[in-house]
Amino acid sequence: MSLSSDEYKKMGEKAVPKTKSIRNLTGAFLIGGAICALGQFILNFYLDLGLSTPFAGTACSITLVGISALLTGFGVYDKIAKFGGGGTLVPITGFANAVVSPAMEFKSEGFILGLGVKIFTIAGPVIVYGILASVIYGIIYWIMGLL
Amino acid sequence: MEYLKAFAVGGLICCIGQILIDRTKLTPARILVGFVVSGVILSALGLYEPLAEFAGAGATVPLSGFGHTLAKGVRASVADNGILGAFTGGLSATAGGITAAIVFGFIAALLFDPKDK
Amino acid sequence: MAHKIGKQTIIIDSPVGVFSAAAVGSKKEGEGPLGKSFDIINEDSRFGEKTWEKAESKMQELASWKALHKVGLEMKDIDFIFAGDLLNQCIASAFSARGSKVPYIGLYGACSTFAEGCGLSAVFADSFAKNCLAIASSHFCSAERQYRFPLEYGGQRPPSAQWTATAAGAALISREAGPPYIKAVTFGTVEDLGINDQNNMGAAMAPSAAATLSQFFKDTYTDAEDYDLILTGDLGAVGSVLMRDLMAREGFSLGENYNDCGLMLYDREKQQVESGASGCGCSAAVISGHIFPKIASGELKNVLAISTGALMSPTSVQQGETIPGVAHLVCYSSEKGGIF
């Protein structure tokens, strides 16, 4: 073909239909907001039970992860995600979906080499880089405390 | 009011994720990493705590809140245990969520098969 | 004996044609506009098997069994099998050929496999083989888990994304068979114009389709108007627009007689498949189930079928490589006489 990849890229951009930004943003706002409001409800529930704030927060996370796992298992979470997009990706329920779905998918390759190896195939980087960032912060915080 | 704040702030944070999905070619894993690391940084700069106080679950449920929890855990642990705390604080504070994901993921895999779409 | 003309085109001299063909699909394919043209639709996309990979093998077995059954042949009557799919090391094809005891020639041309298989079958049948079987398949679920995400993972698909067809097609290509007769074959070159977006395969493959088709026109001194139908494999909505643009640049204008299997298999709006269908099974099933009967009946006279493949792997995508494409062309005709 007698054309450069830059020229072709320009042709390609014209041919790709536009994403429905407004519709997607609405979906993300509504679903994401709803999940956070649900989180607030669960958090208040645990606080009312008399749990301390950090423990109530942890219990809330565990509950949301459990709900997400159930919805993923029943094949519903991905359907909500079609509408929710960022609203289902960003909350901790999205993290749970990213752990649960490969666990289900790759058990066909066995519990050790399938499920065990691939369970963090999507969410692994979140833990790796979250911890790395926190350790770097911890060291800086420690040095600043020495000064 | 509390719920409204959680809804609005949580929804807006998710909209940032949506813009990244629509406007960039970033894969979901990259976007999630971005949120967690941003959460750690914002928390370190002292910016995330006020947001969490204002919006409650609206700030803690998104993955940036996960980063905030990591940073908070490290901060408390370094204050108590010195440099060792930098290594133990983060995971200790977030252990509940991560362990829950593994446990429920395993149980879901036992009970359910993926379905055709 | 076949002979080469021009730069790339092979002319099939003896009357070689499609003796029989069959298409297999699942629920979504059955609900699409071409649902009735499938020979076998199994609502259960696992096809009674434990894994998606086995299901895909089963589809190939069903397709080849059905194609042979239609004309009362058995596996022992077949000289060569040319088969391919999208799975790592082509396991769907190899495993389905396991019980056949027929010489097996495994192909990897990504979604161009069906044309690759039909083309090679025609060349073989033109010289020393009597019956060749060309098979290609793809399965949405086995492809998703290998190339993209687990099935239950929640993600949004961009408008340029395509839906891997759960389908298989098998064509029995024999000497002294037809219509449809196979008149010529053009195996394509690998083309890459720098697309690296895995969600925009149509754009990645369009240059290869345009390269093969324009070379075929030059080799045979024909033009788009000489054919009733020019059909690309799975360029989808984005790729087929680019295909028209690229062909225009080469000096060939594609008119009403141009279509794409990826645009035909599903109702894009209702079935939410964004840019259209993709996968080896897409062109294999559409051509086997829908196009061959139309050529056989004479409704279509001269047809060019160009299956298009994107030659990336999950590894190459992660390493930031661009996506090369390849396209192979087979020229079918309802008439026995030479057209070149």
Interface test with B, best of A25, A36, A108 (most B CBs within 10 A): A36
According to DSSP, the β-strands at C167-175 and C163-164 are unpaired
C-chain residues within 8 Å CB-CB of B117? 140-141, 144, 151
C281/C133 same-domain check: no
What is the distance between the alpha carbons of residues C26 and C31, in angstroms, rounded to a whole number?
9
Q: Does C237 touch chain A (CB under 8 A)?
A: yes
Interface test with C, best of B21, B25, B30, B116 (most C CBs within 10 A): B116
- Give residue-wise pLDDT tens across range B21-73: 999 989 999 999 999 999 999 999 999 999 999 999 999 999 999 999 999 99
**Residues in Cβ contact with C187 at an 8 Å cutoff, skipping those fewer than 6 apart:** C8, C10, C116, C119, C212, C328
**What pLDDT does residue C83 have?**
98
Residue B58 token pair: 């609206």
Burial of C34: CB neighbours in 10 Å, binned 0-12, 13-18, 19+: buried
**What pLDDT does residue B117 have?**
81
CA–centroid distance for C217 within its chain: 20
C45/C96 same-domain check: yes
CB C168 within 8 A of CB C63: yes
* Strand stretches in chain C, DSSP E: 3-5, 9-11, 16-26, 40-42, 80-84, 104-106, 131-138, 163-164, 167-175, 181-186, 229-232, 258-260, 277-278, 302-310, 325-333
B-chain residues within 8 Å CB-CB of A134? 40, 67, 70-71, 73-74, 86, 89-90
Examine the fold and report which residue of C143, C175, C207 is the final residue of a domain before the chain moves on: C175
Percent of chain B with pLDDT over 70: 100
Complex prediction ipTM: 0.95
B-chain residues within 8 Å CB-CB of C199? 25
Q: Given pLDDT bands bounded at 50, 70 and 90, which one contains residue A147?
A: confident
Average pLDDT of span B101-108: 97
**What pLDDT does residue A19 have?**
85
**What pLDDT does residue A18 have?**
86
Phi-psi domain of C165 (left: phi exceeds 0; alpha: psi -120 through 50; beta: other): beta
Average pLDDT of span A82-103: 97
Average pLDDT of span A122-135: 97
Examine the fold and report which residue of C175, C203, C221 is the final residue of a domain before the chain moves on: C175
Q: Nearest Cβ partner of C151 from B21, B25, B117?
A: B117
pLDDT > 80? residue A1: no
C77/C9 same-domain check: yes
Q: Given pLDDT bands bounded at 50, 70 and 90, which one contains residue C340?
A: confident
Residue A66 token pair: 């459990």
Q: Given pLDDT bands bounded at 50, 70 and 90, which one contains residue C113?
A: very high
CATH number at residue C27: 3.40.47.40
- Give residue-wise pLDDT tens across range A4-56: 999 999 999 899 988 888 999 999 999 999 999 999 999 999 999 999 999 99
**Residue at C263 is within a domain:** yes
Percent of chain C with pLDDT over 70: 100
**Residue at A90 is within a domain:** yes
**Residue at C338 is within a domain:** no
Q: Which residues of C lie inside 8 Å of B (Cβ-Cβ)?
A: 26-27, 45-46, 140-141, 144, 149-152, 155-156, 158, 166, 197, 199
**Residue at A129 is within a domain:** no
Nearest chain C residue to B109 by CA distance is C152
Residue C180: closest CA among C296, C22, C14, C21 = C296
Average pLDDT of span A130-140: 97
**What pLDDT does residue C338 have?**
78
Average pLDDT of span C117-124: 98
Is omega for the bond preceding C293 within 30 degrees of 0, making it cis? no
DSSP assignment letter at A17? P
Residue C194 token pair: 């720098």
- Give residue-wise pLDDT tens across range C162-209: 999 999 999 999 999 989 999 999 999 999 999 999 999 999 999 999
- Domain residues for the domain of A63 are 34-122
Percent of chain A with pLDDT over 70: 99
Number of structural domains found in chain C: 2
**What pLDDT does residue C259 have?**
98
Residue spans of the domains in chain B: they are: 2-111
Number of structural domains found in chain A: 1
- Domain residues for the domain of C139 are 3-175
C163/C55 same-domain check: yes
The interaxial angle of helices A53-73 and A21-48, nearest 10 deg, is: 130
Q: Given pLDDT bands bounded at 50, 70 and 90, which one contains residue A107?
A: very high
Average pLDDT of span C255-270: 96
Nearest chain C residue to A15 by CA distance is C238
Percent of chain C with pLDDT over 90: 98
Residue C76 CA: distances (Å) to CA of A25, C99, C103, C247, C259: 59, 11, 10, 44, 37
- List own/partner pairs for C309-315 with CB under 8 A and 24 or more apart: C309/C109, C309/C110, C309/C111, C309/C112, C309/C113, C309/C205, C309/C208, C309/C233, C309/C280, C310/C110, C310/C111, C310/C201, C310/C204, C310/C205, C311/C109, C311/C110, C311/C190, C312/C198, C312/C204, C314/C146, C314/C147
C338 vs A52, which has greater pLDDT?
A52
What is the distance between the alpha carbons of residues A124 and A45, in angstroms, rounded to a whole number?
31
A-chain residues within 8 Å CB-CB of C50? 108
Q: Nearest Cβ partner of A16 from C51, C193, C238?
A: C238
Report which secondary-structure segment, H or E, holds C300.
Answer: none
Examine the fold and report which residue of C122, C157, C175 is the final residue of a domain before the chain moves on: C175
The interaxial angle of helices A21-48 and B2-23, nearest 10 deg, is: 140
**Residue at C290 is within a domain:** yes
C117/C248 same-domain check: no
User: Under DSSP, is residue C104 helix (H, G, I), strand (E, B) or coil?
Assistant: strand
Whether the pTM exceeds 0.90: the reply is yes
**What pLDDT does residue B33 have?**
97
**What pLDDT does residue C182 have?**
97
**What pLDDT does residue A141 have?**
96
Mark yes or no for CB contact A16/C159 under 8 Å. yes
Phi-psi domain of C267 (left: phi exceeds 0; alpha: psi -120 through 50; beta: other): beta
Residue A11: closest CA among C244, C99, C329, C197 = C244
